[in-house]
Amino acid sequence: ANFSEQVVESFPSDISTGIYYGWACVGNGDVHKMVLSVGWNPLYKNIKKSVETHIIHTFKEDFYGEILSIVIIGYIRPEKNFDSLEALISAIQEDIEEAKRQLDLPEHLKLKEDNFFHLPEGKIVNNH
């Protein structure tokens, strides 16, 4: 799930590029583990910074247009370039496994239940 350019521009300017882990919730659905990439995606030579969320869950259908709420818990590694798509995919799989391990720790697991993820029906948050 990619955040819009407007949302990316609202991220703190001093956030380091790289790979993070945390919790994500689509709409008022369940909260799932996630990995977040903040950066330029050098393999694809992006000219604009992007923030891409990989929710570690299989959804039955697309959720375009839904509110995506995230909580960033920790940092995995800096952004880097890869020689091939296969190397990128391998790194992503390693990032996912590291995120799963970290998010299973009791101090991280308790944040899954935070009230932040339970929005009142129809409420608009930060113009989104």
State yes or no: is 61 an active-site residue: no
Distance of CA 108 to the CA centre of its chain: 15
Q: Which listed residue (52, 61, 66, 107) is catalytic?
A: 52
Cβ neighbours around 20 below 10 Å, total: 22
Query: CB–CB of 111/82 below 8 Å?
Result: no
Which stretches of 78-117 are assigned E, i.e. beta strand? none
- Annotated catalytic residues are 52
